[in-house]
Structure 1
């Protein structure tokens, strides 16, 4: 079979495993009585990203071929995710048991994102393909897989139950087994690097350069926005099913279907990046991303899934997400590649990911949890959790809805402050491309 088709299948499943639960897990946790701990589940992805990709990368470089290690990691992650689903299905859900199994699962899953890229690059080079032109069309199907898994979780009703974790585990087993059929990735026979160099610590010398230090710090601040809507968009939209005057609407019952528009927008916005970078440069592109985050959160604060105007605002929030995510994440990665010495480019990318998906995601999620606990769950917890079909009284519903709006406005205000500070502090002179 054509290697591109095989790698496309790998990428499809790679992100389908994640999409099966990433945007809907918060809704299940809230219904299981763990609403105040949602932030910890999403922050754990950032925490393990601080060290697990580096550790697994060293193993793949030195001892275990990358495609086999990729398969082993997915099988281990699937087993732990099934364990989390089992403990989540018990009548009395134990936070400690569920969180432990979930943490082990993401500890094995998060390194596979980089590892799957490594396998794809190696296989393409072995097949005589140019990775720059051949990989992006393959990677797009990762987002397609994420969307398909989200929609499956939505329309099967998994988004409110532990079944979404079982679904992810089944996909993980399929991918784990499939990985062993991929082309062999050779291990390195050269003398091992120092631990500091292998972990990418050498690239932290970039912080001595004012321009790069400022860029990385703002990357962390912007990275704080990345997991907020992953963690809380679905509970926010689904929660309208329990609010007087909003219960039973199509949007509230199909939150993942609405949220999948974000990933569709992301797929399209990737194609705009080359034009915008050449025409406007990294500073303006990053500013566009930052103001898109302001709109993303602001539209959530004003929208609802039950009225025509409210749905339009939610859809607008989903559309601007593609700009908010891609213009920061992809453009930032390209900027790091262009501005760093070839000898430390891989390590520099590691620092960029560490600041965004590590520190940024972890701090942002826990910060969002604190805000939402104070403004939203303080009201629902005081009244008590409701079963499916039950509705809070009108006064409680009003406080909960107002709390959600204020929470989204807090996040929008944070994004606006970051954008203004970035515009004033980050100095960059762009020379537009002539063609």
Structure 2
């Protein structure tokens, strides 16, 4: 049972988790372009560190959280290490050394997303109802980070290196706090650990289901256009002259908070397929609005595009995490969360980063700014194509037991 004290403790964990991420990642593209004079391809390469960390996440989580070590302890260790790496990244004056420290920070940070989810889900009887009200505090943490950056004027004052100090402090605080979280030991297991257990490969059995396979492929594909948003939205807002861009960008997180609270109702009323499909279509609409908007009379299009973040993120990522937890057998739920992180933040964003950088560079103007209309139309078209693929192929009709994961702990049937 999720009592009020446990809910508060998990909510604080989520708040710090996403504060750390939002404190430096939102303005990373602007920081690299202005302070380190990075090209679009270098900016995309820096964001690719997120993908590399996510690719390693299933193996780290499969080793430590599903088999050997308590999840909250490893969460603490990883955040303490990440704090040091973030601080050192912000001290660098050249892109090469910065990339090394940013990569180490992300390799240690990305597994913590799956660990935080796993710690939360293990305390919940009904994650589809209880998780959104806890996860919403992660959104609040991200908003606080953006508002602080805007209030302190770090974007316009050329002081974005301070964001790495702020992120490092938040990561260190969470690293210490994690050791006070509810004890989350590995699930009981039959027999000795195997190589499959250590690498978290048992979660790959979920892909035997056509439904989950289509969801997994769509998760990879939708994150290709997503890379354009993560990598270049803050640079776009600053280039078109939107004041306090990081604070304005936090409108997306305000929307995310609202839609998170609606998520249980949406899943009940719409089912998994329609919820995920709406999220994908919202990405296409958002990019189209960015392409058409400006900082003058059409600023309202940019604002609506930012407000669509709640639909884009919650209706796909959060719904997907809940779907994965409901679908996976109990013994591999942590690894399954790592697997979906690999698909989205790992493989999908990696491909997207490799594609988005050269496209942004191709539309660089002589004055150092970019022609954003064709840049945003590319991910708009990609998101629409992914939505068509998912809508035509996905069927929500199987449970964990149906794919051979029948350990008696599968959650309710995911069919509608």
How far the C-alpha of 1:145 sits from its partner, in A, is 0.8
Distance 1:67 1:218 in 2: 31
How far the C-alpha of 1:180 sits from its partner, in A, is 3.2
Change (3 A) 1:279 1:68: closer
Find the residue that maps to 2:55 and give its secondary structure: coil
8 Å Cα contact 2:326-2:414 kept in structure 1? no
Partner residue of 2:378 out of 410, 423, 426: 410
User: Whose Rg is larger?
Assistant: 1
Partner residue of 2:146 out of 150, 153, 171: 150
CA offset digits 1:286-333 (Å, max 9, x no partner): 22222211111011111122x1x3210111101212111111112233
CA offset digits 1:118-161 (Å, max 9, x no partner): 44456x47xxx876655442321111011001111122123452
Find the residue that maps to 1:410 and give its secondary structure: helix
Change (3 A) 1:433 1:5: same
CA offset digits 1:229-276 (Å, max 9, x no partner): 1211000111134xxxxxxxxxx2311111101111111112333333
Residues 21-40 of structure 1: pairs in structure 2 closer than 5 A: 21-31=24-34, 32-36=36-40, 37-40=42-45
For the pair 1:164 / 2:163, whether they are aligned, the reply is: yes
Distance 1:35 1:265 in 2: 31
Change (3 A) 1:432 1:66: closer
**Aligned residue in 1 for 2:199:** 199
Change (3 A) 1:117 1:324: closer
Residues 213-252 of structure 1: pairs in structure 2 closer than 5 A: 213-241=213-241, 252=242
Change (3 A) 1:433 1:202: closer
* Greater displacement, 147-156 / 61-70: 61-70
Structure 1 runs not aligned, ≥5 long: 88-92, 242-251, 384-391
Change (3 A) 1:234 1:342: same
**Aligned residue in 2 for 1:176:** 175
CA offset digits 1:154-186 (Å, max 9, x no partner): 221234521111111111122222333444444
For the pair 1:11 / 2:19, whether they are aligned, the reply is: no
Residues 35-434 of structure 1: pairs in structure 2 closer than 5 A: 35-36=39-40, 37-60=42-65, 64-87=69-92, 93-120=93-120, 124=123, 134-159=130-155, 160=158, 161-186=160-185, 191-241=191-241, 252-305=242-295, 307=296, 309-339=297-327, 346-376=334-364, 379=365, 383=366, 392=367, 400=370, 403-427=371-395
How far the C-alpha of 1:433 sits from its partner, in A, is 10
Change (3 A) 1:288 1:41: same
Q: TM-score, normalised by structure 2?
A: 0.84
How far the C-alpha of 1:103 sits from its partner, in A, is 0.6
Find the residue that maps to 1:227 and give its secondary structure: helix
Q: How large is the RMSD of aligned CA atoms in angstroms?
A: 3.0
8 Å Cα contact 1:26-1:35 kept in structure 2? no
CA offset digits 1:404-428 (Å, max 9, x no partner): 1110011111112222233334456
How far the C-alpha of 1:67 sits from its partner, in A, is 2.9
8 Å Cα contact 1:279-1:433 kept in structure 2? no
Find the residue that maps to 2:225 and give its secondary structure: coil
Structure 2 runs not aligned, ≥5 long: 399-412
CA offset digits 1:101-130 (Å, max 9, x no partner): 1111111111122223344456x47xxx87
Q: What is the total number of aligned residue pairs between the two structures?
A: 393
Find the residue that maps to 1:253 and give its secondary structure: coil
Distance 1:113 1:428 in 2: 25
Change (3 A) 1:157 1:284: same
Distance 1:179 1:232 in 2: 32
